[in-house]
Amino acid sequence: MSDVIVINDDEHISSSDSGSDIDIVEISHHDRQSFQSSKSISSTIDNSSPSHTPEIDGLKAMKCVVCLETPEVVAVAQCGHYFCRDCVFITLSSSRAADKKSGICSVCRQKVRYDQVLFLEMRMGEKRNPEKELEEELSRELESE
């Protein structure tokens, strides 16, 4: 099974003090025939920005194509279709053409290797101010001495 990549907006530095931000993950293919150097690019988008609407609306509305639930962990197949963690292997292996190493995408009918499914965990969180956090941590350390 593949590793889970955690995309957490708490890891990003933001200059704004209010609101929340959201990470957009771009997924490319790994090796030339499956995922090419799987690489995720995260961009923090300020909710007050007028250009964020389609991307944010799309991520908030993301549903598993099988169970129609909003997944906490998104499983992305080689073909680019996404499922929730619970449904991905069930749907890939349900085809008669499925075997021990690969299955068939229920959306586009392409062959998908199980070991090439990429898992992404997206978390919404508060914006961080690392400078302020460092000041608070130093202040706590000085108080404890």
pTM given for the model: 0.47
Q: What is the pLDDT of residues 54-71, one digit of tens each?
A: 555 556 667 888 898 888
Yes or no: say if 86 and 67 are a contact pair by the CB < 8 Å rule.
Answer: yes
Within 10 angstroms of residue 97's Cβ, the number of other Cβ atoms is 9
Q: What is the pLDDT of residues 70-112, one digit of tens each?
A: 888 888 888 888 898 889 988 888 888 888 899 998 889 999 9
Count, residues in the chain: 145
The ranges assigned to domains in the chain are: 4-83+118-144
Spatial distance between the Cα atoms of 42 and 22, rounded to a whole number of angstroms? 9
